[in-house]
Amino acid sequence: MTAITASMVKELRDRTALAMMECKKALTEANGDIELAIDNLRKSGQAKAAKKAGNIAADGAITIAQDGNKAILLEVNCQTDFVAKDENFANFSKKVAEVALATGTVDIAQLVALQFDDSQTIEEARIALVQKIGENIQIRRAKIVEGENLAVYKHGLKIGVVVSYTGDADTGKGLAMHIAAFNPVAVNAESVPAELVAKEKEIAEAKAIESGKPANIVEKMVTGSVEKYLNEVVLERQMYVIDNDKKVAEILKSTGTTVAEFVRFEVGEGIEKKAEMSFAEEVAAAQAASAK
């Protein structure tokens, strides 16, 4: 049996970034063979990552990387806010965003197969991070925005915005902040997805019919409801966050600014989260687990 020295443990720790005791255990099981220990740790990491994959990763962070007139928004999910603030998680997300931007790859299946560094792919780096941190970590989505001018804004870890525009730089920055706060779905009414308008119209019609009003009144009620909806979700129709006395359209006109495109990512959008258990349910679950 090969003696496991402190220098061997340090080397393995430097190469894997895992805890010292885990490195010592891996070296012991590999009879001091560092390469075999690394292979075993990777296999173990894959197994742990597969097991963790069943856990809902609805927390996380939005990362933005920019190169000239091109920027990318990337959402990477984890299970807790604590991990979202972790330096290892942040460094992983930053590197993935940089690789995605440099290669123009936003398809996640293709992205994870790309090189993270000289020794591993992005997927291998993700698995290693799951092993190290102990939570399910998933690269969820990415979007590249290009334009003559780009305004970038992040609100904490959870919201990121990139605006492609022409015109006034200060207005561009202000619009990015506005979009983060008010979450519009389109620049103008004509750009609102037809399915969103149809859904709003359907809801309005159902409510109007329930009122028992005549058909002509129902039609006016539906039209009014749809217009109210558009006023809420169309960027140009919203009251500007920096000057509440003016609509965004007025700000754009007065500053000679035009918005070509914007993208807003918020962590966890559309992810179904598990309902929080009550204390009584937690106790019952713990008792059930101990009885197995």
- When comparing pLDDT for 227 and 51, which is higher? 227
DSSP 67: E
Sorted by sequence, the CB contacts under 8 Å of residue 57 that are 6+ apart come out as: 77, 78, 79, 135, 136, 137, 138, 271
- Indicate the pTM of the whole model: 0.74
Reply yes or no on whether the pLDDT at 195 is more than 50. yes
Of all residues in the chain, the percent with pLDDT exceeding 90 is 59
At 185, phi and psi to the nearest 5? -105, -15
User: How far, in Å, CA of 264 to CA of 266, rounded?
Assistant: 7
What would the pLDDT profile of 59-85 be if each residue is shown by its tens digit?
999 999 999 999 999 999 998 899 999
Strands 70-78 and 59-67 come out as antiparallel
Tell me if residue 234 falls in helix, strand or coil.
strand
Go through the domains of the chain in sequence order and give each one's CATH number. 6-52 (1.10.8.10), 55-146 (3.30.479.20)
> Which neighbouring-strand residues pair with 73?
64, 143
Residues, the chain, total?
292
Cβ–Cβ under 8 Å, residues 27 and 125? no
Concatenating the DSSP letter of every residue in 173-201 gives HHHHHHHHHH--SBSSGGGS-HHHHHHHH
What token pair was written down for 84? 């979202």
What would the pLDDT profile of 34-45 be if each residue is shown by its tens digit?
888 877 766 665
pLDDT band, residue 18 (cuts 50/70/90): low
List C-alpha distances in Å: 15 to 49, 171, 235, 258.
Answer: 19, 47, 49, 50
